[in-house]
Structure 1
């Protein structure tokens, strides 16, 4: 009885201390998450360096992290700074009246009378839409300008978080196998299950980030280059917005290029609108429909609709980090239930030998 009380008391304090430690690290959740993601994505490269320098773990981790900085971190920082500059220019043009959302609404009103009749039947007033568009544009401009000022004022904080992320990633790369073995020993789930779940965690994280990032880069680059070739102002800004919008499955970058194509039609640039629509639907849309199931759905072993719902839910709950966390939680959910079903039916030879139903395959 006394031993049970001691054990329960110890487990209670273990739970309290663990929760306290998690709350302590909560402000650094994004930093730690992306450090783990970097370690997972670059683990194969780190393994090659480790094979080359088997007695120099620090050297292997440093070489891997250096390549990560050159290939990923520096280009991302350059793109972000360029987008911020274009955002400031966009806000200045809004304030000066060079860009007028009301004028664009009037152009759409003239070019698409059928759309106006439809909006009127649905109870939308054109003048109210115009005012809402102006307010939304000004709010967006103030948001961009305000965040630009915030980023400038908090440059030191951003730099600290970046250095902290790379610092943690270094140790994740160097000590990753040791940390996994330590957690396998600590968690009471069974070593086989734990290693399977950790492997699934790494596989889904790697597939989701690599797949979505590749798609985002391709769609944003193609969209931005197309807009630049068509002479659309702020092509870099719109291209980056397409890249971020591509993280939303099904809708994706169409949220950006469709309104631009409609505006080009409204102002009489029919050829440019047709070119943009052709590239958007024929190239950008094809990349999303073809590559996303291959790069994300196949490697995560999740159906397309689960990838869609989990990505949208993850973004709604966790912001930009959610495009990875959502599918990861969905994959772990399916894995845990698969283990549970297997264990429940382990003692029933009829159910154990019964072949699990397969999901229907899409028509080719």
Structure 2
């Protein structure tokens, strides 16, 4: 390696580190944009093919314009179907959490405390516990009440950034993949094999997580509806988001709901909901998630679980996708090396 090559490698490393430092504050939004673009891209191709005949005969309308129309349509659809509901739920969550932390929630604390005394014979300061819990959650998630505004501003900037990234990923994704292929110093057949394995792993992890979360949320929502919990559609959507977290996701809704029913003297309904959650909803998570992801990504369920929790711990919520994908890419690379070079 001559002096010029050494200089270029050092320059690449330095610029890569600086780029990472610049992107890191919004890394979750960048990853979320990449994942959303990956999910939307097949629909983008399908929609662009359907729009192309409509553009024929209109001279100024080019293929690029058709792709732009398709990308914008899908982004607007995602905004309405996914992002706006997420923003609404986040707003309601922050509002309720702030009310709890300041002792101004609408929870009938007196009735709950009276019920606890009746059931256990012990007095329990529910209001104090709620305020303490609200303060801890606010400090952990947002850095306290003063950090809520900063978090909202950062989330708004991140959301705008993610939408633009999704647009450019849909428009120029194939070109980037082609450039990436050209940069990999491997024979074409080995590169194709590696990309196929990585694509299968990514598809399995992303689609597996989303499909299982939706299935679990719908099943849990039916249980909430059957026992008369109000706002079932809202709570089902919340569970669809929480169910992306394995093991504990949807339980954060149906568990407290079952306890609430017991507290308000609907003991039978509460017990039935708890039994339904343990016997049906939890089983969907424990069995369907590993089966669905393993069939697509060919990863052991234990490896998937480690990847999910490790990813969440390392980079946040989007890590539940990134962790298993990274481990899957490692497995795909080792498998490609074994198959194409017969060195293992």
By the TM > 0.5 criterion, same fold? yes
Instruction: Please report how far the alpha carbon of residue 239 of structure 1 lies from its aligned counterpart in structure 2 after TM superposition.
Output: 5.3
Q: 1:101 to 1:164 in 2, by over 3 A?
A: farther
Instruction: Please report how far the alpha carbon of residue 165 of structure 1 lies from its aligned counterpart in structure 2 after TM superposition.
Output: 1.1
1:205 aligned partner: 202
Deviates more, 1:133-142 or 1:24-33: 133-142
2:57 aligned partner: none
Work out the CA distance in 2 between the residues paired with 1:238 and 1:88: 19
Q: Is the 8 A contact 1:211 1:295 kept in 2?
A: yes
Q: Is the 8 A contact 1:215 1:291 kept in 2?
A: yes
Question: Does residue 78 in structure 1 map to residue 88 in structure 2?
Answer: yes
Work out the CA distance in 1 between the residues paired with 2:45 and 2:105: 53
Q: Is the 8 A contact 2:101 2:130 kept in 1?
A: no
For structure 1, list consecutive stretches of 5 or more residues without a partner in the other structure: 112-125, 352-364
Work out the CA distance in 1 between the residues paired with 2:80 and 2:138: 33
Q: 1:69 to 1:268 in 2, by over 3 A?
A: closer
* Aligned partner of 2:120 among 105, 110, 118: 110
Instruction: Please report how far the alpha carbon of residue 164 of structure 1 lies from its aligned counterpart in structure 2 after TM superposition.
Output: 1.6
Work out the CA distance in 2 between the residues paired with 1:212 and 1:7: 43
Instruction: Please report how far the alpha carbon of residue 291 of structure 1 lies from its aligned counterpart in structure 2 after TM superposition.
Output: 3.2
Work out the CA distance in 2 between the residues paired with 1:49 and 1:239: 29
Work out the CA distance in 2 between the residues paired with 1:145 and 1:17: 31
Q: Is the 8 A contact 2:116 2:124 kept in 1?
A: no
Aligned length: 331
Instruction: Please report how far the alpha carbon of residue 249 of structure 1 lies from its aligned counterpart in structure 2 after TM superposition.
Output: 2.8
Question: Does residue 292 in structure 1 map to residue 297 in structure 2?
Answer: no
2:159 aligned partner: 162
Work out the CA distance in 2 between the residues paired with 1:319 and 1:325: 10
Deviates more, 1:256-265 or 1:321-330: 256-265
1:13 aligned partner: 11
Q: 1:95 to 1:38 in 2, by over 3 A?
A: closer
Deviates more, 1:141-150 or 1:325-334: 141-150
* Aligned partner of 1:69 among 70, 79, 82: 79
Instruction: Please report how far the alpha carbon of residue 302 of structure 1 lies from its aligned counterpart in structure 2 after TM superposition.
Output: 1.0
Q: CA-atom RMSD, angstroms?
A: 4.0
* Aligned partner of 1:246 among 239, 243, 247: 243
